[in-house]
Copies of this chain bind each other. A is one copy, B any other.
Amino acid sequence: MQNKKPKNVFQQGAISSEFIGNSIYKHQTKTSIGAHNIFLGQVRADEIDGKTVAAIEYTAYEAMANQKFHEIRESAFEKFDLTCMHIYHSLGAVNVGEICLFVFVSSPRRNVVFEALEFIVEAIKADVPVFGKEIFEDESHQWKVNS
């Protein structure tokens, strides 16, 4: 599964639960895997100054972002005994309750998947040029800041 060329991590819009279920299904032929760990980022209906977030609109510096995702992937494969790793991130509008980030790691044994997944998610938050615009129900907006 290790792929030396940057792939396109981005999907237009939300990542559906069917897509995630199907991705899990596809790994059932890989019988050396004993443990999967999946992180999902979901858009929260945060209330800020009395206004409620209705959606986040994502933009990205796509070429650089895909390169960064690639570097994160390579470095995770180097650090951890992973069989598979998949990353998907939304572009465009994702409504509250919908999923905007899907990170999926698999390994023969469970001990590495926890550490690997956290490493990857933190690296994505810190290093990948993706920008979230929080759209409120009244159509005003503010720029999301990762904490």
Contacts and interface: CB of A to CB of B under 8 A. Distances in A.
Interface of A: 17-18, 20-22, 24-25, 27-45, 96-99, 106, 108-110, 113-114, 117-118, 121, 147
Binding site of A, secondary structure by majority: helix, strand, loop or mixed? mixed
Stoichiometry (number of copies): 2
Contact of A18 (B21, B30, B97, B113): B21
A33 B42 contact: yes
B25 A110 contact: no
B35 A39 contact: yes
A110 B121 contact: yes
Nearest to A53: B31
Nearest to A114: B118
Given A96-B31, A121-B110, A24 B40 contact: yes
A109 B147 contact: yes
